[in-house]
Structure formats: C-alpha cells, structure tokens
Amino acid sequence: MDDAPDIGELTPPDRTLMGPGPSEVHPRVLRAMNTPLLGHLDPAYLEVMDEVQELLRYTFRTDNEWTLAVSGTGSSAMEASIGNLVEPGEGVLLRTNGYWGDRMAAMAERAGGDVVSLPTAANEPIDVAEVERAFAEEEIDVVGICHAATTTGIRQPAMADIVDVAHDHDAYVIADCVTSLGGVPVHVDEWGVDVAYSAAQKCLSAPPGASPITVSDRAMEKIRGRETEPRSWYLDLSLLAQYWGEERAYHHTAPITTVYALREALRLAAEEGIEARWERHREVAGELKAGVEAMGLEMNAPDDLWLPSLNAVRVPDGVDDGAVISHLLEAYGLEIASGLGGLSGEIWRIGCMGYSARRKNVEYLLAALADALRKEGYDPDGQAAAAASDD
Ligand code: PLP
C-alpha cells in the first residue's frame, strides 16, 4: 500500500456559470447546506419534506398530491417518469432525432416499451399535426415531450394541444421541464400533462441531486395498477410515495443536505413570485440576446420559440467555437458550452438560469465574448456599428 495521499483542501476556482447548467447557487442556498443533518425519519425532517412538496406544487403550478423530489439528477426523474408510466409492450411516442428524446427512447426501451418516432425535423419543435398523424397510424400509450430543449435553445409551444390529442386517445403525457421549471412558464395543471419532471441545477439554482417530479392522480392510478413492477426498485414511484406520503415508510436514506438546498432555492422562487421570476429571465436573457445580435451573431431559435434560459448562438464562419469557450474560461473564469450532437461546432450554449440570470453576469459575458471573438479575427464592434446604421 502507498502512503496516504497528500491532497489539499478543496478550493474550486472562481467561476461565472453561464452554461447549460449547473447555474450559480444563491448564498442563502449555500448557507442552508451548511446546517446540521437531521435523520431522514425525524419529524423535523418530515416537515422539511412537506414544505418542499408545497413549494414544488407552487413552482410547477399544480395541485397534484404526488409532487416530490427524486434522489438523483434530472435523468433519475426522467427515468422515474418513464420507468413507472411505461409498461412492457406499450407504445411510446417520442422524437428520436434530438438529444433528450433519444435519452427518453433509450429509457423507454429498457422499460420494455415500443418506441414510435415522430418525424420532427432536427432543430424544430414538435408539430401537433405530426402527433395526430402518429396516433392515427400507431398504437400509442405514452407521449414524451421536452418542453425546453437545452441542445437547441428552442421552447416547445402548444403543450396543451399535444396533451389534448394524447388524452383524446386515452394516452399519457410526460413533460421534460428540466430547463424550464422556475425560469420559463410551466403550467402543469393548465397543460394537463400527466407527469412533469425537472432538475435542481438549472433555473432553480440548487445543486444537482434532488429532482422535482409531479404525477397526476390519473397517472398514479395507472402506475399503481401496473401488471408488472417497474424494473427499477430505487425509482419505483409507488414505493417513493410511501415515504413522501402519509405512511412515511423508510425507502432509502434521503440526501438531506441536497433537499435542504432545494427547499431554500424553492423558497427564493416563492419569495420572488413565480411570474416575476419568469419575467426576470425574459428581461435579463433578452439583454443577452440583444447583445449577441448587436455583435452580428445569430440565435439558433426563431424569436417566437426562443428559450430565455438557454440561448443557443450560432458560431460565425471562420471562428473556432472551442477556442472561444477556452478563452472565456481561462481569461475570465466564465463557463459557456459547445453544441451537442448534430449541433456540435455549430452553436454556443449560453445559459441564463436562476441566480446566474443577473444583469451583472450578462454584461460580463458580453464583454468577455466580444474579446474572445476579436482574438478569433471576428470584429464584434464593426457588426454592432453596421447594425446601428441599418436602423
Ligand atoms: N433533460 C434535459 C432537457 C436536460 O437539459 C438535461 C440535462 O442537461 C437532462 C434532461 C438530464 O439531467 P441531468 O444531467 O441532471 O441528469
């Protein structure tokens, strides 16, 4: 055996987080994480769980009883949604040419579902007519939709219309609200979605690890009436409901500190007011969008589908996307991200989420980005001057 490793105390570098997540965490959330642990069945902790449920219902805009936090990141809430709602042999309608739809499809297949692919073009939202056509042609029991596409910066409109089509055929709808909850309008009850899930580290600005999920009574009835048990014991919502519901039966040791953090982050959202919070994201990200457009850069999303929490900006010809990202990190301690999948090398992904969605951050980002572009031989000022003279 070697000697004990000599590793110093953790001192992470100072970063401004403007990528697709995690976003920056409010000092009050960090303070909440610094408070003493309680046992996961201590009555005082059970009260914390009740408060988290109440705050989550407010944030999701729902009265769903089964609203809780899954232990794990957003993908665990995604897998809990799919793994519980989909039974072997059921048809699951998804777009399979987008990053998150592909992940949902992989999970649906592992749950024994038969994936039906929507023909949605890459870089487009799902069209209601496509969903209608799919129902006319195939046996579909569950539909999965990503409300806020972190890969393209496109917001899925017409959520309620898609739900109406699915419900007309007695199917169920799962909505991925990972990059929208707490930053962009999410209306679970108004849309009528059966299951919605999210993550803590995006517009809620809590650390990753406790992921919101809300399940309608109708969906819970389907889950409780399953012929086969869900393949995952850890993510079995009927068992989790026994811990989060009245029985308070031990299921697993909850990530206490992470739930404290989520509670404080949700409290901040409630104090701000959910509508005011959506408006702040719109305004602050609007300045970011106007700033990059003034440099002659183009947004990936058309204005009517723009997602304030995730600004996908097209990389201009002749500019090395990776060099810009590295310069921002090395010279400014500022994080943004590259494109994924088919959009790799084509876009930058600039988050404007939660506590990171502040004017100060946007001004810093725009100045740093202009510098990085100049280093790449692109003149952001000339573009701005040309844009001004066009007006
Ligand atoms: N869904 C969407 C839309 C996401 O953007 C992400 C992560 O970025 C996930 C799901 C997965 O969440 P996590 O990385 O927290 O597991």
Q: What is the CATH number of the domain that holds 141?
A: 3.40.640.10
Answer whether residue 15 is part of any domain: no
Q: In DSSP terms, which residues pair with 363 in a beta bridge?
A: none
The answer on 171 and 300 residing in a single domain is: no
What CATH number does residue 317 fall under?
3.90.1150.10
What is the model's pTM? 0.97
The answer on 277 and 218 residing in a single domain is: no
For residue 246, how far is its CA from the centre of ligand 1 (angstroms)? 30
Q: Give pLDDT, residue 387.
A: 54
Q: Tell me the CA end-to-end span of the chain in Å, nearest whole number.
A: 71
Ligand 1 pocket test, candidate residues 17, 103, 179, most atoms within 8 A of CB = 179
Q: What ligand 1 atom has the least distance to the C-alpha of 75?
A: 16
Answer whether residue 21 is part of any domain: no
Q: Give pLDDT, residue 2.
A: 83
Domain boundary among 231, 256, 271: 271
Show Cβ contacts of residue 233 under 8 Å, excluding neighbours closer than 6 positions: 239
178 Cβ below 6 A of ligand 1: yes
Q: What ligand 1 atom has the least distance to the C-alpha of 149?
A: 3
Range of the domain at 210: 27-271
Domain boundary among 211, 240, 271: 271
Q: Give pLDDT, residue 98.
A: 81
The answer on 239 and 93 residing in a single domain is: yes
73 Cβ below 6 A of ligand 1: yes
Q: Give pLDDT, residue 122.
A: 85
The answer on 250 and 297 residing in a single domain is: no
Report, as ranges of residue numbers, the positions in the chain whose pLDDT lies below 70.
383-391
Answer whether residue 323 is part of any domain: yes
The answer on 172 and 98 residing in a single domain is: yes
What residue has token string 């280093």?
375
Q: Each residue of 45-89: pLDDT tens digit?
A: 999 999 999 999 999 999 999 999 999 999 999 999 999 999 999
The answer on 369 and 287 residing in a single domain is: yes
For residue 103, how far is its CA from the centre of ligand 1 (angstroms)? 10
CA distance 90 to 142: 8
Helix (H, G, I), strand (E, B) or coil at 138: coil
The answer on 171 and 108 residing in a single domain is: yes
The answer on 237 and 179 residing in a single domain is: yes
The count of domains in the chain is: 2
Q: Give pLDDT, residue 81.
A: 98
The answer on 218 and 154 residing in a single domain is: yes
Answer whether residue 3 is part of any domain: no
The answer on 138 and 216 residing in a single domain is: yes
Answer whether residue 341 is part of any domain: yes
Q: What ligand 1 atom has the least distance to the C-alpha of 151?
A: 5
The answer on 279 and 262 residing in a single domain is: no
CA distance 50 to 40: 13
Q: Each residue of 227-271: pLDDT tens digit?
A: 999 999 999 999 999 999 999 999 999 999 999 999 999 999 999
Q: Give pLDDT, residue 390.
A: 57
The answer on 90 and 55 residing in a single domain is: yes
Q: Give pLDDT, residue 97.
A: 86
Answer whether residue 20 is part of any domain: no
CA distance 160 to 166: 10
The dihedral over CA atoms of 160, 163, 169, 173, expressed in degrees to the nearest 10, equals -170
Q: What ligand 1 atom has the least distance to the C-alpha of 199?
A: 15
74 Cβ below 6 A of ligand 1: yes
